[in-house]
Homo-oligomer: A and B are copies of this chain.
Amino acid sequence: MEIPSPKGFYYSTVKAGIKYRDRYDLALIYSKKPAQAAGVFTTNQIKAAPVKVCMKRIKSGFAQAIILNSGNANACTGKKGIEDTIEITEKLAQKLNINKELILPLSTGVIGMPMPMERILPALNELASNLGNAEPLQVAQAIMTTDTFPKISSKQINTASGVITILGICKGAGMISPNMATMLSVILTDARIDAELLREALKIAVSDSFNSITVDGDMSTNDTVLLLANGESGTDKIERKSPLWRLFKDALNEVCLELAKLIVKDGEGATKFITINVRGAKTIADAKRVAKAVANSPLVKTAFYGEDPNWGRIIAAAGYSGVPVKEEKIEIYINGICLFEKGLPTMREEELKDSLKQREIEVLINLNLGKSQTRLFTTDLSEEYVRVNSAYRT
């Protein structure tokens, strides 16, 4: 299957040997001309060096290249970490013959280790000269860490003036939480649109996708989502008043949601994909707190792993979420079967026996206190999760 790629973007990957030998671990994305750019970054107060550099550079609203590496997060590396990141982009800028401020760096991997500059710097020449030799899928592969498969998604919008393509590439498997833990995502489009609108569209899309997933509640130091639009589609410019604006936002949401779901599906040791719906909350903030408490409860997660319709652990999590709830008003459904209402269990667990064996589980918690709602995607908690995370050194 050919994945449609937006016009005017070129890709390359090399084996720099950052952590492992003989694997592609350094990737470059290059736009033939400077693109409008927007970004969303980790809310963790401990931010990796590349995150700090990206946050500063993207303020201009422009970017032309993105350099991504796996194997080393360049986090908790002090001043030297910042200097290393800047030097990498400086050297790359010379080879690409562009301003270094137009290059955005993304890193993922081990925390607290200095970047192996002696291996990265010599690889930059090949990286720059190889441009066009790789596909987006190879970029997705180069940034994998504990991911078991590369993650990519693409959507096209047909307009009177031509086709707009949106392509998303991302990595992330463990430490996935609302607010995007150890998650890198790059979204590229050939739409003609200004950075101001890009920022607005990205904020909405991230909130409903990457910030609505959780595997274990942890947030990393490196999470970044970048959105670049180079206008190479030749289609009409997207303005706030044009009908295209809505279509663009919808397509961007779809791409982000698809990527976010892929991350959850690749959750470390996950055997279930669980959607937590919370309705009837007084505010969206309340709905999110309840959803997060339920989604992050190790007891709820292990129950689903055991295929046990344990509504008791769900209601207990809602009860300690900090949101005022009323026991006699709460309704809990799993896969459409009501298990708790009017303060009492319905004793219908037996009806769920088969459907809990499926990979996809749908939980609905209606607080019946208001009109706000939210949706969160998560996984179960398996012995495999413990195995992966007790052995893997982030």
Main secondary structure of the interface of A (DSSP, over half): loop
Q: Contact check, B298 vs A298: say whether CB atoms are below 8 A apart.
A: yes
Q: Contact check, A317 vs B218: say whether CB atoms are below 8 A apart.
A: yes
Q: Contact check, A46 vs B315: say whether CB atoms are below 8 A apart.
A: yes
Q: Contact check, A308 vs B218: say whether CB atoms are below 8 A apart.
A: no
Given A46-B315, A320-B179: A345 and B386 within 8 A (CB)?
Answer: no
In whole angstroms, how far apart are the Cα atoms of A82 and B112 in the complex?
A: 55
A336 interface residue per 8 A CB criterion: no
In whole angstroms, how far apart are the Cα atoms of A218 and B221 in the complex?
A: 25
Q: Contact check, A318 vs B216: say whether CB atoms are below 8 A apart.
A: no
A343 interface residue per 8 A CB criterion: yes
A210 interface residue per 8 A CB criterion: no
Interface residue count on the A side (C-beta < 8 Å): 65
Given contacts A218-B298, A305-B390, A310-B393, 14 further A-B contacts (CB under 8 A): A44-B319, A46-B315, A46-B319, A76-B340, A112-B340, A113-B345, A181-B320, A216-B298, A218-B317, A299-B394, A313-B394, A382-B386, A383-B383, A383-B387
Cβ contact of A320, chosen from B43, B110, B390, cutoff 8 A: B43
- Residues from chain B with a CB closer than 8 A to the CB of A316 are 44, 46, 111, 175, 218-221
Cβ contact of A308, chosen from B219, B315, B381, B390, cutoff 8 A: B390
- Residues from chain B with a CB closer than 8 A to the CB of A385 are 298, 302, 386
Q: Contact check, B312 vs A394: say whether CB atoms are below 8 A apart.
A: yes
- Residues from chain B with a CB closer than 8 A to the CB of A220 are 316
Q: Contact check, A312 vs B44: say whether CB atoms are below 8 A apart.
A: no
A370 interface residue per 8 A CB criterion: no
Q: Which of A174-205 contact B (CB under 8 A)?
A: 174-175, 177, 179, 181
A75 interface residue per 8 A CB criterion: yes
